[in-house]
Amino acid sequence: MFVSENLGVNEKGHLTAGGVDTVELAQQYGTPLYVMDENLLVKNAQRYKNSIDKFYGGNGMVCYASKVFCCKEVCRIMNNEGIGLDVVSIGELYTAFKAGADFEKICFHGNNKTDEELEFAVDNKVGRIIVDNMFELERLDRIAGEKGVKANIMFRIKPGIDAHTHDFVKTGQIDSKFGFALETGEAMEAVKKAIACPNVNLKGIHCHIGSQIFAIDPFVEAAQVMMKFIADIKEQCDWEITELNLGGGFGIMYTEKDDPVPYEDYMEKVSAAVKESCEKLNVKLPFILIEPGRSIAGPAGITLYTCGGVKHIPNIRTYVSIDGGMTDNPRYALYQSEYDAVVANKADKPKDTTVTIAGKCCESGDLIGEGMALQSAEPGDIIAVCATGAYNYSMSSNYNRIPKPAVIFVKDGQSRVVIKRETLDDIIRNDI
């Protein structure tokens, strides 16, 4: 009935998240409100960790892709669970730093890292810098040299795999802004150059083929292509690549149309493919890293809004207006991403209307979704949008000078604030 395993309905007919009454949360903390189920967040991360233990002898590491939802508390939680972090900017890196995360377990990504970012990473001994291009390699080699250290790196490779997903979230094909292409020989050239660089240590190679992917085959294919490249490097450069980072991208259920595979199946198939390639190509079994983001945080989150009004436009559509919108969830405006919504205070009632949920920004495209099935909504109702734990808070903005909502975590019947709601003074804090 619900898209995430942690959602339910209580005896009052209210929607619950992680066992907590969401209508009460809306009353206590106000709306809009992001609610994350801490137990589900941890459970999802542990599912990946356990699958590496089970199918790959524990010879690997999970790095949570923090861009999907980054704040100090989530960095602390992942760190406590032995999960590494994948970061893409100095802001995410700084958040991890302030949270006391283990920098050895950080993978630092990005297709245009600045000198400031590289220096921060080198100074704080980031475990792996994922180098995207030749310019970055040269700059990093210089920066590490100036500091008298050797930086551990991986190369971002475009394996040339079609990930069967939305064009905007595909990243493994040759026409991508990320990484080095294999087909053109660019990747091998970079490897040779890195081996010759005195201040970098090429530990591994990385690929990330896209996001919201449901099929396992593209991941298996990508792993095979990467293993072949490891063998080519050994043969052509006499250099052993000891780590293989396979990125993230596993799909989740946003609506009933989505049919994700169990996380464990992914690791089972990919481990088998890597082991087989090793035997066939006579290379050592690499340490494996994976970087799930959406599939860890997405299902753990919901967003609560208050309905302010309902507009019936005869023979056209019904707009249900909420007190948030593209400022807290820009994904429909960006990629027409679909969501499931529930009237939280009528969660036991049938969804007998079809509506467009509209935000409060001055944009006609400010919608959470169109053609959505919903219980009959009235002003004052609490509307819950499900599976918003990933790419929502992290993509939020202050457009129209709307303050960002609070994020609260629920766990074992309790709730607590993890990110405070922005105040009006926060909105003008940098204005002169």
Ligand X SMILES: *Cc1c(COP(=O)(O)O)cnc(C)c1O
* Residues within window 53-72 making contact with ligand X, judged by CB under 6 A: 65, 67-68
The one among 211, 321, 356, 396 contacting ligand X by CB under 6 A: 211
Asked if 361 is an active-site residue, the reply is no
CA separation, residue 88 to residues 85, 129, 160, 400 (Å)? 10, 10, 22, 27
Rounded to a whole number of angstroms, the minimum distance from the CB of residue 262 to ligand X is 15
Rounded to a whole number of angstroms, the minimum distance from the CB of residue 317 to ligand X is 31
The one among 105, 158, 294, 421 contacting ligand X by CB under 6 A: 294
- For the record, the structure tokens of 99 come out as 């949270």
Between CA 233 and CA 220 the distance in angstroms is: 20
Residue 11 CB partners (closer than 8 Å, separation 6+): none
**Rounded to 10 degrees, what is the CA torsion of 126, 132, 137, 139?**
-80
Q: Which of 342, 424, 332 is nearest to 376 (CA)?
A: 342
Considering the rule CB under 6 A, would residue 113 count as an interface residue with ligand X?
no
Closer to ligand X at the Cβ: 216 or 373?
216
- For the record, the structure tokens of 84 come out as 């590494």
Site string for ligand X, 72-101 (x = CB under 6 A): --------------x---------------
Closer to ligand X at the Cβ: 7 or 88?
88
Strand-pairing partners, residue 108, are 87, 129
Closer to ligand X at the Cβ: 114 or 354?
114
Q: Which of 269, 283, 280 is nearest to 237 (CA)?
A: 283
Closer to ligand X at the Cβ: 15 or 163?
163
Q: Which of 71, 237, 362, 386 is catalytic?
A: 362
3-state secondary structure of 21: strand
CA 233 to chain centre: 30
Rounded to a whole number of angstroms, the minimum distance from the CB of residue 1 to ligand X is 25
How many residues of this chain interact with ligand X, rule: CB under 6 A? 16
The one among 84, 159, 172, 293 contacting ligand X by CB under 6 A: 293
**Angle in degrees, 0-180, between the axes of helices 263-281 and 38-56, rounded to the nearest 10:** 30
Site string for ligand X, 225-254 (x = CB under 6 A): ----------------------xxxx----
3-state secondary structure of 47: helix
Contact residues toward ligand X (CB under 6 A) are: 65, 67-68, 86, 109, 208, 211, 247-250, 291-295
**Which residues are the active-site residues?**
362
